[in-house]
Homo-oligomer: A and B are copies of this chain.
């Protein structure tokens, strides 16, 4: 084994040990990704919000959503009044007539999320459907990673949406993929209030 190789391996080991030590810190907020084509990416983030609120933690949400329609989660948390909630420009849809306007809206929403992440005021921040904004290049994955890296380290962040970028998955502490195992009559099941939105 060359000295050069040995040194590389030692560096790698040191880096890995530092990462393990960092993760063992109970005060560290993790970066979690919910992705995949199955159900449950956003709803499990809302479930984690419920858990966090149960422990009296402070929670923020930025929703990079597809459209302006009412959702059950928004109505619930509005009524509850305990979660700081930002939704990207009303009327926004991903199949847009004005791409420049939509890019500006996505970037403004992320700027808000970044401000919240850096503030140190939050135990948990959910960036709902942000992976879609990256998939359409409305946000660059480099900017999102830079924002996560600049966050207050006690703040956990959940990023949801299908097609999470590989670079983001590399950066994250934990990636969960939701897979549809059985959906035999997909065309036949309409989205339902409560279950789906």
For A24, give its contact among B20, B45, B190 (CB under 8 Å).
B190
A180: CB under 8 A from chain B?
yes
Q: Of B71, B79, B177, which one neighbours A38 at CB under 8 angstroms?
A: B177
| Contact A194 B72, CB 8 Å, known A23-B185, A176-B179, A189-B174 | no
A186 to chain B, nearest CB (A): 9
A195 within 8 A of B: yes
Query: How big is chain A's contact interface, by range?
Result: 35 or more
Contact A174 B34 (CB under 8 A): no
CA distance A58 to B134 in the complex (A): 37
- Say yes or no: A188 contacts B46, CB within 8 Å: no
Closest to A124 in B: B194
Q: A176-B179, A182-B169, A190-B26 are in contact. Are A76 and B53 (CB under 8 A)?
A: yes
Q: Does A47 contact B (CB under 8 A)?
A: yes
Asked if residues B188 and A23 are in contact (CB atoms below 8 Å), the reply is yes
Annotate A25-50 by CB proximity to B: 1 below 8 A, 0 otherwise. 01000101011101110111111111
Rank and list the top 7 A-B pairs by shortest CB-CB distance, nearest first. Answer: A54-B72, A43-B47, A51-B72, A46-B47, A54-B76, A44-B44, A40-B44
- Residue numbers of A with Cβ under 8 A of B are 16, 19-21, 23-24, 26, 30, 32, 34-36, 38-40, 42-55, 57, 71-77, 79-80, 123-124, 156, 169, 172-183, 185, 187-190, 192-197
15 example contacts (A-B, Cβ-Cβ < 8 A) are as follows: A19-B185, A21-B188, A34-B40, A35-B181, A39-B44, A40-B47, A43-B45, A51-B71, A51-B197, A54-B79, A55-B193, A174-B180, A175-B183, A176-B180, A178-B178
